[in-house]
Amino acid sequence: DAKTTQPPSMDCAEGRAANLPCNHSTISGNEYVYWYRQIHSQGPQYIIHGLKNNETNEMASLIITEDRKSSTLILPHATLRDTAVYYCIVVGMIKAAGNKLTFGGGTRVLVKP
């Protein structure tokens, strides 16, 4: 699975959009981009994933560049409860039995009032 690079930390104002970048320049054609977050030593929580197209769900939006070498996770209206470590993970073809996840260092996001 391709490696990812994320900034180690970022701050965000409550109520504003948080844009979290991720670089995955060695991603190959059949690899997906997943985002998880971990709130203060709780179990990681799945946020969203995508292959080529932009994706949106109730938690966030995922924007993947056309060359797929980078992506941005957007939290549209950050709240204090969004303070967490956010992990961008590249995973190969989705298997029926599921896929192991290789976590990097993630981005520590602090939402400030």
Partner 1 sequence: DSGVTQTPKHLITATGQRVTLRCSPRSGDLSVYWYQQSLDQGLQFLIQYYNGEERAKGNILERFSAQQFPDLHSELNLSSLELGDSALYFCASSPLGGPEAFFGQGTRLTVV
The residues that touch partner 1, with contacts defined as CB under 8 A, are 32, 34, 38, 41-46, 49, 87, 91, 94, 96-105
Q: How far is the CB of 15 from partner 1 (least distance, A)?
A: 27
3-state helix, strand, coil in the chain (%, to 5): 5, 45, 50
Q: Name the minimum Å distance from CB 100 to partner 1.
A: 5
Q: Which is nearer to partner 1, 38 or 61 (CB)?
A: 38
Measured from the CB atom, the residue of 13 and 103 that comes closer to partner 1 is 103
Spatial distance between the Cα atoms of 78 and 75, rounded to a whole number of angstroms? 6
Pairing, β 61-64 against β 45-50: unpaired
Of 91 and 111, the one with the shorter C-beta distance to partner 1 is: 91
